[in-house]
Amino acid sequence: MSSTPKTIQIFLPGGDPRGVRIAEITTRIVQVIEVPRTLLTDFLAMEQSSQVGVYVLVGEEAGDDDRRVYVGQSGDLRARLAQHHQKKDFWQRALVLISRTNSLTQTHALFLEWYVLKQLRQAGRFSDENGNAGSRPHTPPPLEADCMEIFETGSTLFSTLGYPLFDPLVAVTEAENPAEHFFCHSPGTGVDGKGLYTAEGFVVLAGSLGRLANAPSIGEANERWRQQLIEANVMRPEGEAKVVFNKDHLFSSPSASAMALLGRRANGWIEWKNADGVTLDELKRSNLGEDA
């Protein structure tokens, strides 16, 4: 995604920031419309719903640990989304990408559907309900260039609305830099976690080992939460005492990530340390506000 400065406008047609939101970069023709399922009828009454477009249905019924999507395209968004409303249960919001000038063609939409799904799977943040991804559609080079520009704009707008579908959890520069790594160890329980502190939260890296059992003090709610991580295949039991992280996973805080590994309440700012044994708190929090 381009890091150049941008001006993004978000229009609230109903005046409610929790309702339908229309995002656009002011100098470009692409729009992304976020539609709560409860307000689908409102969107279907808008002229934008009659256009050619690409859409992503988003479901988060189990919270951030089981975020699912479905990617599609249609020359008649109104009919297709109404059909999904009747037949697909998992989703709560639709993200619809269209052109302000109504200039997307079916060829654009077919290529973008394929490319969106490919990039979404590569990022690995969301699991998809699409099944077979299909083959790359034939697209003339000029039209493909248009699609790549549309995708770049759409990606920025998705992220602005709170859906970083195509952004990797960990930048390559962070993953390959040992200075950015933090570790959570508990020799008596076999916990051996590795992670990164990012702008979004704390990422526990794939292959990290945690404790399967829960300490009594963890509480019922947190015990259920750890079980959800297992059911969502974020971490899997290995043997009788351990869990292993199947993939990189973002937690909202260092403490949540430490609790997932340790099976007990934990202060992640203290539990996570760099290779020299310096805590995350000392490196990232305690020195804030100190004179350089």
Average pLDDT across each block of 10 residues of the chain; the chain has 292 residues. List them in order: 82 96 96 97 95 94 69 95 95 96 94 96 88 84 96 96 89 68 92 93 95 94 94 91 93 95 96 95 76 42
Question: What does the alpha-carbon distance between residue 45 and residue 35 come to, in Å, rounded to a whole number?
Answer: 12
Residue 107 has what pLDDT? 95
Upper half-sphere CA count for residue 197 (Cβ side, 13 Å): 21
Encode 82-111 in three state secondary structure.
HHHHHHCCCCCEEEEEEECCCCCCHHHHHH
Question: What does the alpha-carbon distance between residue 215 and residue 84 come to, in Å, rounded to a whole number?
Answer: 43
Residue 292 has what pLDDT? 38
Residue 291 has what pLDDT? 45
Residue 263 has what pLDDT? 96
User: What's 269's DSSP letter?
Assistant: H
Helix runs in the chain, H state only: 40-44, 77-87, 106-123, 141-160, 172-175, 220-231, 254-262, 268-271, 280-284
Let me know if 195 is exposed, middle or buried by CB neighbors in 10 A (0-12, 13-18, 19+): buried
The answer to whether the CB of 268 falls within 8 A of the CB of 254 is: yes
User: What's 253's DSSP letter?
Assistant: S
Angle formed by the axes of helices 254-262 and 220-231, to 10°? 80
pTM over 0.85: no
User: What's 192's DSSP letter?
Assistant: E
Residue 64 has what pLDDT? 53
Residue 135 has what pLDDT? 84
C-alpha angle with apex 137: 103 to 128, nearest 5 degrees?
90
The answer to whether the CB of 122 falls within 8 A of the CB of 165 is: no
Residue 65 has what pLDDT? 56
